[in-house]
Chain A
Amino acid sequence: MISLQNVTKRYGAFKAIQSISLNIKPGEIHGIIGSSGAGKSTLLRMMNLLEKPDEGDVIINNKKINHLKGKEIRNIRQSLGMIFQGFHLVGNKTVFDNVAVPLEIAKIAKKNRTERVMESLRFVGLEAYKDKYPRQLSGGQKQRVAIARAIVNNPSVLLCDEPTSSLDPTTTMEILEVLKQINQQLNVTIIIVSHEMEVIRSLSERVTVMEDGQIYEVVEIEPTGVNKSKKGAATFVEQLKSGGDSNPS
């Protein structure tokens, strides 16, 4: 599936990612958690080469992709869906047209697009909103449109960069439910970055805890008690192992 091998990313003298290796299992929901600046979004963005590693390799389906260029990279990206905290919908396109864009980019024949777009919109429960514009939607609905857009190309992996950080708790749970369904019903591997413990806990099977651009620990989720005495990455790990639901101080 996706594998990162000794990847490093620098911004000038600052090392955002320091020689990280990580294997994502096919079909899993993998959480990445850490404090602000821990490097979790950078790590996620390396998986579809929005950020290119300065060292190390990004491997997808046993193929090194970090040396690919142009059309080859674009083809890889078309097989990986991605959603963001800010939704990033095109405001001048309707919901339908927003969802149809990846199909246009992949040069899917026009006659085949409608059915696939409607199928995606049905999946996220927004079939009736196809002619609306993003400004007419709530935050949660916009994120659903973004999800529909991300899955319309039948990707094998969905990368989620803080997808619920700008949403209220109720809407957050609805979005997480949609992501679970995508994983279970469409068999899509999901990698989700968040600084919210509750989001990561309720969704992930395995969690990578990051600190200062490095992996602090990879945790298998087991629901039990809470320990709030530790700080930083240690608190994340403790809470993940014990079933806690609050963020570290």
Chain B
Amino acid sequence: MIPILPEVLVEYQSEIWESIVESSIMVGFSVLAALLVGLPIGTFLFLCRKGQLLENRLVFSSLNLLVNIIRSFPFLLLVIFMIPFTRFVMGTAIGTAAATLPMMVIAIAHYSRLVEQSLLDVPKGVIQAAVSMGASVKDIIFKFLYVESRSALVLSMTTSTISFISYSTIMGVVGGGGIGDFAIRYGYLQYRTDLMVYIIIIIVIFVQIIQYSGITLARKIDKR
């Protein structure tokens, strides 16, 4: 370990690394779920809105309600509420892998809402021009909507990822581990306040890196 690190971090370095890996798994899969499922759902929500290409009141209302319900759940209660489902899908409700499932569910709901809002900022005229060119819905999504809203989508993902890190800190309740759980178990519960403070600093540094990277990328790709 680097010699300038505080002694307590050196002492717990293997546990800290392990918890960082656990957090990375939970956050990583959440990001993946947000991208692979949340992005299409958010896009579909947008397209089903009144006045949009696939306007459908029933589909929009249902999907909108579902996203709202998931986002309304206090996250800890969602994790507990989902235990039977998690056990059914993952075979167990305990451990990092099992903890990832509720994380993915909240990630999908969270990001889909942000995607929908980002797409609302695309000028209606651009969509109208696309339709007048004979673009299909797929063309409109990939050649217009995502292109025009790409910096907003990146910023939304940045915000979401930081929220996922926050959510992951309470996954200790189902044995999910992670850096937040480490801070609670080894820092708070064992009266090692210094260790807890150092872990918080590590989390803050991670969040800063993600925020800075997100803003930099969003700025770089925004040509409007």
* A104 contacts chain B at the CB level, 8 A cutoff: yes
B130, B148, B223 pick with most chain A CB within 10 angstroms: B223
Interface SS of chain A = mixed
- A-side contacts of B133, CB under 8 Å: 77-78, 82, 101-102, 105, 149, 153
Q: 0/1 per residue, B110-147, Cβ < 8 Å to A?
A: 00000000000001011011111111100100011001
Distance between A214 CB and nearest chain B CB, rounded to angstroms: 25
Interface SS of chain B = helix
B135 touches A105 (CB 8 A): yes
Q: B124 — nearest CB in chain A belongs to which residue?
A: A88
A84 and B134 in contact, given A90-B148, A104-B143 (Cβ under 8 angstroms) = no
B143 touches A84 (CB 8 A): no
A88 and B134 in contact, given A93-B147, A105-B143, A133-B223 (Cβ under 8 angstroms) = no
Instruction: Tell me the count of chain B residues lying within 8 A, CB to CB, of chain A.
Output: 23
- B-side contacts of A159, CB under 8 Å: 132
- A-side contacts of B131, CB under 8 Å: 50, 77
- A-side contacts of B130, CB under 8 Å: 101
Q: How far is the CA of A87 from the CA of B148 in the complex (A)?
A: 15
A50 touches B147 (CB 8 A): no
* A25 contacts chain B at the CB level, 8 A cutoff: no
Instruction: Give the contacting residue for B222; candidates A74, A77, A92; CB below 8 A.
Output: A92
Instruction: Tell me the count of chain A residues lying within 8 A, CB to CB, of chain B.
Output: 33
- A-side contacts of B221, CB under 8 Å: 92
Distance between B136 CB and nearest chain A CB, rounded to angstroms: 6
Instruction: Give the contacting residue for B148; candidates A48, A75, A86, A92; CB below 8 A.
Output: A92
* A91 contacts chain B at the CB level, 8 A cutoff: yes
Q: How far is the CA of A65 from the CA of B125 in the complex (A)?
A: 23
- B-side contacts of A74, CB under 8 Å: 134-136
* A76 contacts chain B at the CB level, 8 A cutoff: yes
* A106 contacts chain B at the CB level, 8 A cutoff: yes
